[in-house]
Amino acid sequence: MIEVAPAVQGCLSKMAIAPGEQGGAVRYTLRAGEHRLDLNARLGQPLRLEWTGSIACTHCGRATRKSFAQGYCYPCFKKLAQCDTCIVKPETCHFDAGTCREPEWAERHCFQPHVIYLANSSGLKVGITRGTQVPTRWLDQGAIQALPILEVQTRQQSGLVEVLFKEQVADRTNWRAMLKGEVEPLDLQAERDRLLASLDGGLSGLRERFGADFLHVLDERPVSFEYPVLEFPRKIVSHNFDKKAEAAGTLLGLKGQYLILDTGVINLRKFTGYEVAVG
């Protein structure tokens, strides 16, 4: 039986992640309701999370038997703009058609500058994020390197640019490779130059559509991140609260939104809204 500290209880939110100071390891904080736990300080120690069986919608707070889109009840999942398919595929934005679920929300979130970036989480990938989400987005993905390359005026525009890049580079992370630490450093600046040159025709087409000033090439330097991992797993075994209510073991590392325990890994973001006891 694993001995643990006295438990605290609350509904999970995605872990708060911040870059380490002066090149140090990324800092992780577990959030369960009002409780906060410094996970870096728990490395090498026992950690237990036990789901109570309750789930609360992260938007309206109502109890729900099932979580949709990582933390929402079904009514919120169906009515909120942030749960619409255009969030996953911004190029399908339908704001101009007058069918946006929440126009005011879209104006605050979608009609803001967005960054197109290259990252190295399990190999080269392209991604998009609001400028205010840099570097949080990269840390959530477990990227060891990242480089912002372009900035556009809206989320839809970022999605259209990303579609061009996806012709030549992946837009997803192989989470198993990321967690195993099987990632070699890349020359992101060279990759940027190669991709911009090969996609010049497509980008010119978007300039004709949106105007010459819709897109700005960024002159940034790559950033690198070190994650607090004592030992990478050789074989990936996943904990899942929907199948077993407890995830417990010695905390060996933190990467992306995953806890790496000696008994398996768990993606805490997947279980947003789940009420857990943590000890």
Tell me the pLDDT tens digit for each residue of 53-77.
999 999 999 999 999 999 999 999 9
Say if residue 204 is in the same domain as residue 237.
no
Q: Does the residue 100 lie in any domain?
A: no
Q: Does residue 148 belong to any structural domain of this protein?
A: yes
For 188-229, write each residue's pLDDT tens digit.
999 999 999 999 999 999 999 999 999 999 999 999 999 999
Q: Does the residue 50 lie in any domain? A: yes
Angle between helices 155-165 and 200-210 (to 10 degrees): 160
Closest among 110, 149, 144, 142 to 126, alpha carbons compared = 149
Q: Is residue 78 part of a domain?
A: no
In a domain, 23, yes or no: yes
**Half-sphere exposure of residue 273, counting CA atoms within 13 Å on the CB side?**
21
- At 2, is the pLDDT very low, low, confident or very high (cuts 50, 70, 90)? very low
d(CA 71, CA 55): 8
Quote the pLDDT of residue 23. Answer: 77
The conformational region for residue 230 under phi > 0 = left, psi -120 to 50 = alpha, else beta, is alpha
The answer to whether residue 80 sits within a structural domain is: no
Query: 119: domain range?
Result: 113-224
> Do 125 and 210 belong together in one domain?
yes
Percent of all residues in the chain with a pLDDT value above 70, rounded to a whole number: 98
Domain count within the chain: 2
